[in-house]
Amino acid sequence: MTLSQKTGLRETKRRLDRRVLYFSIKGNTLENKPVENCADLVNQDFCFTQEERDALYKTIFNRRDVRGQFKPDAIPDEVLARVLQAAHHAPSVGFMQPWNFIVIRSKETKLRVHQGFVEANEEAAKLFKAERQETYRNLKLEGIKESPINICITCDRNRCGPHVLGRTHIKTTDLYSSVCAVQNLWLAARAEGLGVGWVSIIKQQALKDALNIPDDIVPIAYLCVGYVSHFNKKPDLENAGWRKRLPLEDLVFFDQWNEQRNAEEDSLIKQIELDADFSEQFMQYDENALE
Amino acid sequence: MTLSQKTGLRETKRRLDRRVLYFSIKGNTLENKPVENCADLVNQDFCFTQEERDALYKTIFNRRDVRGQFKPDAIPDEVLARVLQAAHHAPSVGFMQPWNFIVIRSKETKLRVHQGFVEANEEAAKLFKAERQETYRNLKLEGIKESPINICITCDRNRCGPHVLGRTHIKTTDLYSSVCAVQNLWLAARAEGLGVGWVSIIKQQALKDALNIPDDIVPIAYLCVGYVSHFNKKPDLENAGWRKRLPLEDLVFFDQWNEQRNAEEDSLIKQIELDADFSEQFMQYDENALE
């Protein structure tokens, strides 16, 4: 059975289940009462307040891959410095910190990278069939020239010599560390009101040539960064009908690959289905900005 | 010149520079006044309050790779569901959402994974020289058995067929998407008061065998998750003297690889050096818990 078939079957069941669940909660018949804070369980001062926790979820649920809404306003150094500090505090295998941050302000450099995008994008468009190709060509997929700052985050795989604690058996963990830095930067930028767009439609070699990156350094992400006219409520590709968000409960397995449960069998799945709209409560504030 | 040599030279200069910079700020002679919020620049309701922004930075700076401090307390389904939603709202190339979440509760499965860790760890330890090897063997590097829940986050590279928007030229972007989910989960867990430890000392095949993961699925991260006795102020490997945090300003280049500036030449570098202790203000609350 494919994922989408399973999703279809589950959707019907989910709607029925949810009515029962809401009823149960109203009648206070659920065994587990909602836990509001870790302090309910562990009496410690390292617990966050609900406001702090909500701010984190607000950031995560409102982060978008921004391509078309950049404004030319300069990013103050104070803001950029904070965002880079957030990236630098990502986890890294063996505390390797394999990242560098190439901050691109030069118009000429941006134009070179943009040329690399145009060439790769033309190749990529042709891989999609006729109807899909038209949708593809109407998508705005980068903001290289419009965003005031571009940042390339890289991975220096030799930073700590050949033997890195934790990297011996899974060699890609240093690349993953640099990706964690990307995600930290992205979230910090969102909290600062900055949009970030990840440009992956470019050949690695074209990017390396444009930025003079040596052979042994891996460019992980090329990011467009700037203030924006607005943030969209949903991802651009969801708005464009390119693809839908998958139901989380279909992606959760137990103890073994492909071992699923349903809401009747498992309280976690029940809870995930009940909280399916959890992200919605953090999104009201930009309702008017929805395209 | 190696990075550490450069760092040494820069350190002396930085101390001198910082004195001048603090003096300048006290005298209000810096051109750019600190910008407190994106609303200063863009009059929009999608800007976060300073409290929200600070909560995000607090989460980022206090996230730790936890190995030794897990408590057996069960994680409520409400909390786990929220943390998984955060992971599911990570960015993904072509909105591919290539992740699955294998939630491991079974003691037997944990023991199998732990056995894989023990074997890999013995191999890894031998790669370090005598003195370093002793330090290595004294490090606590996983909490597989102690943490109540383990979660394996995977990447299904075939989820959207052979042609994925944005993955044509950089094939690893789907793996990177799953890493972004890891980082979202990690941050959400921290805000919930949950510790997370990433176990990378294990052979991919041993992990696949233990969890029955098919050949075409890539395990990205094996995470130990649970409430903790405390969070350490610094990363375990920094506390153990294994490696220091690098100065951020040494990792920032401009327009081209290896093109650096110093604080006199560039206002961003000046700002990064001035804000070197930015993360410190978010850490007071667990001072007593510092090991």
Residue A163's SS3 state is coil
- What confidence score (pLDDT) does residue A46 get? 82
Average pLDDT value for residue range B190-219: 97
- What confidence score (pLDDT) does residue B162 get? 87
Check CB contact under 8 Å for B179 and A179: yes
Q: Is B87 a domain residue?
A: yes
pLDDT per residue as tens digits for the range B158-188: 998 888 999 999 999 999 999 999 999 999 9
pLDDT per residue as tens digits for the range A227-276: 999 999 999 999 999 999 999 999 999 999 999 999 999 999 999 999 99
A212 neighbors A126 (Cβ within 8 angstroms): no
> Which residues are CB-contacts of A176 (< 8 A; sequence separation ≥ 6)?
A93, B175, B176, B179, B182, B220, B221
Nearest Cβ partner of B200 from A46, A170, A243? Answer: A170
- What confidence score (pLDDT) does residue B254 get? 98
B111, B139, B178, B257, best to mutate vs chain A, most A CBs in 10 Å: B257
- What confidence score (pLDDT) does residue A1 get? 44
On the question of pLDDT at A79 being above 90, the answer is yes
On the question of pLDDT at B208 being above 70, the answer is yes
Q: Is A244 a domain residue?
A: no
Contacts of A188 in chain B (CB under 8 A): 56-57, 60
Neighbours of B280 (CB within 10 A): 10
On the question of pLDDT at B34 being above 90, the answer is no
A165 neighbors B237 (Cβ within 8 angstroms): yes
ipTM for the whole complex: 0.88
Q: Is A284 a domain residue?
A: no
User: What average pLDDT does chain B have?
Assistant: 87
For residue A216, name the pLDDT band (cuts at 50, 70, 90). very high
On the question of pLDDT at B154 being above 70, the answer is yes
Same domain, A13 and A152: no
B105, B168, B238, best to mutate vs chain A, most A CBs in 10 Å: B168
Contacts of B188 in chain A (CB under 8 A): 56-57, 60
Contacts of B288 in chain A (CB under 8 A): 45
For residue A277, name the pLDDT band (cuts at 50, 70, 90). very high
Same domain, A130 and A181: yes
Same domain, A163 and A220: yes
B253, B269, B280, B291, best to mutate vs chain A, most A CBs in 10 Å: B253
On the question of pLDDT at A286 being above 90, the answer is no
Same domain, A197 and A70: yes
Contacts of A248 in chain B (CB under 8 A): 84-85, 88
Q: Is A7 a domain residue?
A: yes
**Nearest chain B residue (CA) to A96:** B243
Return d(Cα B15, Cα A279) in angstroms, integer.
45
Average pLDDT value for residue range B236-260: 96
Average pLDDT value for residue range A76-105: 97
Same domain, A28 and A73: no
Return d(Cα B280, Cα B62) in angstroms, integer.
10
Strand arrangement, sheet containing A149-156: A194-199, A217-227, A149-156, A99-104, B252-254
Range of the domain at B150: 67-227
Same domain, A2 and A100: no
Q: Is A54 a domain residue?
A: no
Return d(Cα B183, Cα A182) in angstroms, integer.
10
Return d(Cα A156, Cα A154) in angstroms, integer.
7
Q: Which residues of B58-86 are buried (b: 16+ CB within 10 A; e: fewer)?
A: bbbbbbbbbbbbbeeeebbbbbbbbbbbb
Q: Is A225 a domain residue?
A: yes
Give the count of domains, chain A: 2
First-to-last C-alpha distance (Å) of chain A: 36
Instruction: Tell me the nearest-neighbour CA distance from B179 into chain A, angstroms.
Output: 6
**Nearest chain A residue (CA) to B165:** A124
Q: Is B286 a domain residue?
A: no
Check CB contact under 8 Å for A35 and B268: no
- What confidence score (pLDDT) does residue A30 get? 35
On the question of pLDDT at A187 being above 70, the answer is yes
pLDDT per residue as tens digits for the range A9-38: 555 555 444 444 433 333 333 334 444 566
Check CB contact under 8 Å for A187 and B88: no
Same domain, A86 and A175: yes
We report the CATH number of the domain holding residue B176 as 3.40.109.10
Same domain, A192 and A116: yes
Q: Is A235 a domain residue?
A: no
Nearest Cβ partner of A55 from B55, B94, B235? Answer: B55
On the question of pLDDT at A148 being above 90, the answer is yes
Instruction: Tell me the nearest-neighbour CA distance from A70 into chain B, angstroms.
Output: 12
B32, B89, B273, best to mutate vs chain A, most A CBs in 10 Å: B89
Average pLDDT value for residue range A101-110: 98
